[in-house]
Amino acid sequence: MGVVAGPGRIRSASGASRASFRASGYSCPVPTTCPLCQQPLVIQPGAEPLGKRANSYDNFWEACPRCAIALSNATGPARTFIRRDWRDGLWRRSTAQRLEAILDCSLNIRSRRKKKARLAHERSEDLLTWNAFSWLED
């Protein structure tokens, strides 16, 4: 069961649109799969419900235990994948210690911990920039 893209609309394999799922009260409109192993994501016991902010990896509603990647609890199309360990998103994992040292020296002391946690998000601009310069360093 997957997502079938139609002309200007996204539909599930059954043919139902996202709008019809929302109207029916179904909370997770399209079944999701892990982007790494293509297996269905598992609903984590004790997780925060969809729409409620999760503060740690274990609180995300859906995750792939095999690949240690979860899907954010957002209910709109802006859902994003989050890794259990941000180091898994590095181009060269050997640069992790250097990146941590740089983050630990950032001027905004209050945001250091949050900045490091955001590196786990698939859309992290900081991690993308770090990876680009690490690749150029080779």
Q: How many domains does the structure of the chain reveal? A: 3
Q: Is the whole-model pTM more than 0.75?
A: no
Residue 71 confidence (pLDDT): 92
* Stated length of the chain: 138
Burial 89-125 (b: 16+ CB within 10 A, else e): bbbeeebbeebeeebeeeeeeeeeeeebebbbbeebe
Output the six-digit token pair for 105: 């020296």
Determine contact, residues 46/63, Cβ cutoff 8 Å.
no
Its domain, for residue 114, covers 86-137
Q: Is residue 97 domain-shared with residue 130, that is, in the same domain?
A: yes
pLDDT < 70 positions in the chain: 1-31
Is residue 52 domain-shared with residue 63, that is, in the same domain? yes
Question: Looking at the structure, do residues 46 and 76 belong to the same domain, yes or no?
Answer: yes
**Do 96 and 54 share a structural domain?**
no
Alpha helices, DSSP H, located in the chain: 18-24, 96-103, 112-118, 125-137
Whether residue 36 sits in one domain with residue 80: yes
Last residue of a domain, one of 84, 99, 114: 84
